Chain A
Amino acid sequence: MFHWLSDSHVTTAVTIWIGALGTLAIYSILYKENPIYRIAEHVFIGAAAGYGIFITWVEMLKPAWWDQITQGRWYWIFALIAGAMFYFIYSRRYVWISRIIFGVLLGLVAGGAFKGFVGVNIDRISASFKPLYGKGLTATEIANNALFIIVLLAVMAYFFFSFEHKSPIRRAPAQLGRWCLMFAFGAMFGFTVMARMSLLIGRIYFLLHNWLHIAQ
């Protein structure tokens, strides 16, 4: 009776219809707040969370932890104990147990952060020292490097708060730095708009191509 359910064409069609109706339901918020939007929102969040739990067990916890225990490596039970220690933060009497594991975690994170700072920023600082003369440098490269250095120093001057920017010698670079920052933030906002448009295009393409078949 339900053989048609195992037909891949049927399941694909059903999936696309669910996706299309879900997309329209989510976008209905643009018209106004409504119950259809709320239902779709809750279904999406619930489905994503449920899928996340399922996949975490199937692809991570089962092979890396549960199978280890069932195959005789009993000491993996300590991973569960260590994880469970976090939950003692909810008990006033036994909160000290959670502090042990939080202490270990924060120690690891602090060590990692120090390593991270060095590993990430040393290269970036050294890359900021750009040459203004030398063999093989073209006029364009020299101009580009000079512009980089001027902008870098101007922006640093803007963030130098140890004394007031009263005299023109101090104020002018700071103002230039402020303008440079505004240009940078404007460009970054442009990227934000592009990202939002891209996501909308993705959904509209799904509706036109996969659902309605009117786009190639």
Chain B
Amino acid sequence: MNVFERLQYIDRRIMYALLVVAIAVPLIWRINLPVVVTPAVKGVYDTFEKMPNDKIALIVVYWGAGTVAETGPETSAMMRHLFMRNKKFALLPFDPQGSKLATDEAKALAKKYGKKYGVDWVHWGYQPISNLVPLLQSFPRDIKGTFKTDAYGTPMNKIPMMRNVNTIDDIGVIADITSSGELDTWIAYIYGSYRTPMVYGPTAIIAPEGFNSLDAGQIKGMLMGMKGAAEYEKLLNAEGFATRAAGALSTSHLLIVILIIAGNIGYISSRRRRER
């Protein structure tokens, strides 16, 4: 077996070690690669920019610790954008882990931007995902009747920013940030009936499913995982984890391409030897 043929039998542990190095190096020593903002990400940004100040945004959190590297920066970038523009938002989590993680991030950002709970943001309380359809049928007509208290047991009527928020007409944008594929349910029950502007923050793995909705105008914009979050951070001119990780994302992809080419060289080389 010659050198080229050995390329298709590289020990997987060597490949994993190379991958760790390819990711760790740009995280330790920063690599400034250009981040190009795609129209889908600009769509998310513009939708929040256009949201009237007398309405609130609804940030749906349906992700957990398993995908926090992708959905966490997406959620964080959206909340940061709203705080920067003095716009209010409500968190609606459908995952218990996501509820905790998003709340912690909202608290940290609120402290940074001098925002108050109940005045600038509110947590509507965790809901099991099995409740999604009944909730989507109920809350657009009566938010306070559906969510009687916030996550901490305070009646909705006593929360200042909820005083004039009663129906879906008082919600300016719905952002579905998810590691699952329930966007169609939101479109069916909310966008299909009320035409409330929606934006989407999926993990990269389910992002292709969102292109149909994006093309049809059912969602106004989409962040495609960590890359989308990095683009959003660039638009906000506020560097975060996603921007730092963008370099590592590029080097890891480069390594994978090199390994695929190496494997193919090995395969072609061994096939030629067999043919001879």
- Chain A residues close to B by CB (< 8 Å): 30-31, 48, 51-52, 54-56, 59-60, 63-64, 108-109, 112, 115-120, 123-124, 126-127, 184, 187-188, 191-205, 208-209, 214-216
Contact = CB atoms under 8 A, between A and B. Distances in A.
The secondary-structure label for the interface of chain B is helix
A195 B215 CA distance: 22
Interface in B205-245: 205, 207-208, 212-213, 215-218, 224-227, 241, 244-245
A188 B189 contact: no
A205 B241 contact: yes
B20 interface: yes
Contacts of A198: 69-70, 203-204, 225-227, 245, 249
Interface string B181-212: 00011011101110000000001110110001
Nearest to B255: A197
30 contacts: A52-B97, A56-B96, A59-B151, A63-B125, A112-B133, A118-B192, A119-B188, A120-B184, A120-B187, A123-B187, A124-B212, A124-B213, A124-B218, A192-B205, A194-B204, A197-B253, A198-B203, A198-B245, A199-B66, A201-B249, A202-B70, A202-B72, A204-B24, A205-B241, A205-B244, A205-B245, A205-B248, A208-B28, A214-B28, A215-B27
B96 A55 contact: yes
Interface in B42-77: 64-70, 72
Closest 9 CB pairs of A and B: A202-B69, A119-B192, A116-B188, A55-B96, A127-B216, A195-B205, A119-B188, A195-B204, A198-B226
Contact of B204 (A115, A192, A208): A192
Contacts of B148: 63-64
Interface residues of B, number: 62
Contacts of B67: 199
Interface string B246-266: 001100110010000000000
The secondary-structure label for the interface of chain A is helix
B189 to A, nearest CB: 7
Interface of B: 12-13, 16, 19-20, 23-24, 27-28, 30, 64-70, 72, 96-97, 99-100, 125-128, 133, 148-149, 151, 153, 184-185, 187-189, 191-193, 203-205, 207-208, 212-213, 215-218, 224-227, 241, 244-245, 248-249, 252-253, 256
Given A59-B151, A60-B125, A194-B227, A30 B13 contact: yes
B64 to A, nearest CB: 8
Given A116-B188, A120-B187, A204-B24, 8 more contacts: A56-B128, A120-B184, A123-B218, A184-B208, A194-B227, A194-B253, A201-B23, A208-B28
B207 A191 contact: yes
B24 A191 contact: no
A208 B29 CA distance: 12
Nearest to B192: A119
Nearest to A115: B188
A146 B67 CA distance: 38
A126 B192 CA distance: 14
Contacts of B149: 63
Contact of A200 (B13, B208, B252): B252
Contact of A63 (B100, B153, B191, B245): B153
Contact of A123 (B185, B217, B225, B241): B217
Contacts of A201: 23, 27, 69, 226, 245, 248-249, 252
B189 A55 contact: no
Contacts of B126: 55-56, 59-60
Contacts of B99: 55, 59
Contacts of B24: 204, 208, 215
Contacts of B20: 204
Contacts of A205: 27, 69, 241, 244-245, 248
A208 B184 CA distance: 38
A116 B184 contact: yes
A204 B27 contact: yes
A52 B148 CA distance: 22
A106 to B, nearest CB: 13
A198 B118 CA distance: 33
A202 B65 CA distance: 11
B11 to A, nearest CB: 11
Contacts of B205: 191-192, 195-196
A126 B225 CA distance: 28
